[in-house]
Amino acid sequence: MLAGLLVMMCGQGPEFDNPEHGAVNFWKDVKFIPDSTGTAGKRGQWTGWFHQDVVDAAQLDKGIIRARVEGKWQEFKTVELPEGFIKWNFGRRLEQLADMKQMMITKQMKMPEVAGPHSGMVASHGTKRKDSYFAINNAVKGIGWLPKPNKIPEVIELMKQTWDYQPIRKLAVLESLYRRGTELVDLTKQTSLELYSRPNFETHTFLNQMADPGVSVVFLDLPKSYELRCIAQMLHPDDPELTDYEQQVVDYINLSHDYFHGHAPQKSIAVIYHVVQVFDNSPPMGRGRRVVPSLP
């Protein structure tokens, strides 16, 4: 049904019948752009955009994020990440940069660490994908910080000016940013990219966050483990309803990803995780204790 609808909307291109879709079509202005090197018009790219209707960030400057969570609109107060999380996160990022620098110098490359502040396990729920028995989903995402609104243009300009640096010099740029810590970043947010969702393929995380943006993000880096309860706001680069700030966020998150991975052929969906609760899951003393907001 969805595939037929998309073909009807774009007026050309092959049908896709893969089961990696939800039952609801979230996409607008869907088009199929054939690959000129392909045969019979079957190769190409699907394009389109969406607007996430279950999140209202109009009062974000007051520390309020509204969202339709578990079937009803609710108002959540954003909170700052606690000192323990901040110290752990920036400390481990600086350690990992030092390890990468040493590997570059010695030319003894190894697989990067999976544990740590870069890899967040995002649990989401809301709707089933066609190939799934359940609505619940869990996926590991690359997670990063977001500069304060007045700092985003500065960091974007720095990354553009240093884009052609050798990798070891880029590590020094990132180190300088991490060392600025709380002076630079918005402590109420974490960020990611939704790299793979397109009209012809949707990740289960994407579908769940479109249906219900209430998520849990877990970091495991023993002896530390933190769980952030967040409202996931997804921003499509081509959404005409993006505010100037949201467009800057999209540009920044994509640029920070591409800074080391190289230019992507197109911008990806940006995700802001607005933090509303923080739990300490560290064994043995944390045991899932809520630390922000503090318990009475």
Is 41 a member of any domain?
A: no
Parent domain of 155: 51-292
Going by pLDDT thresholds of 50, 70 and 90, the confidence category of residue 4 is very low
CATH of the domain at 242: 2.30.110.10
Is 102 a member of any domain?
A: yes
Q: What pLDDT sits at residue 260?
A: 87
Q: Reply yes or no on whether the pLDDT at 36 is more than 90.
A: no
DSSP secondary structure letter of residue 201: B
pLDDT by residue (tens digit) across 70-102? 999 999 999 999 999 999 999 999 999 999 999
Report the chain's mean pLDDT, rounded to a whole number.
91
**C-alpha triplet 194, 227, 100: angle, nearest 5°:** 65
Domain count, the chain: 1
Task: Classify residue 54 as left (phi > 0), alpha (psi -120 to 50) or beta.
Answer: alpha
Is 158 a member of any domain?
A: yes
Q: What pLDDT sits at residue 41?
A: 55
Residue 216 CB partners (closer than 8 Å, separation 6+)? 122, 123, 227, 228, 229, 230
C-alpha span between 44 and 15 (Å, rounded)? 12
Q: What pLDDT sits at residue 34?
A: 86
**Residue 151, Cβ neighbours under 10 Å: how many?**
17
Q: What pLDDT sits at residue 8?
A: 36
Is 68 a member of any domain?
A: yes
Is 39 a member of any domain?
A: no
**Across 8-29, average pLDDT:** 73
Q: Reply yes or no on whether the pLDDT at 113 is more than 50.
A: yes
Going by pLDDT thresholds of 50, 70 and 90, the confidence category of residue 220 is very high
Q: What pLDDT sits at residue 253?
A: 98
Is 175 a member of any domain?
A: yes
pLDDT by residue (tens digit) across 162-180? 999 999 999 999 999 999 9
Is 3 a member of any domain?
A: no
Going by pLDDT thresholds of 50, 70 and 90, the confidence category of residue 38 is low
| 234 vs 17, residue with greater confidence | 234
Is 161 a member of any domain?
A: yes
pLDDT by residue (tens digit) across 245-280? 999 999 999 999 999 889 998 999 999 999 999 999
| 34 vs 203, residue with greater confidence | 203
Q: What is the DSSP string of 164-198?
A: TS-HHHHHHHHHHHHHHGGGTB-TTEEEEEE-S-B
Q: What pLDDT sits at residue 15?
A: 58
- For the chain, what percent of residues have pLDDT higher than 90? 79
Structure tokens at 36: 């000129």
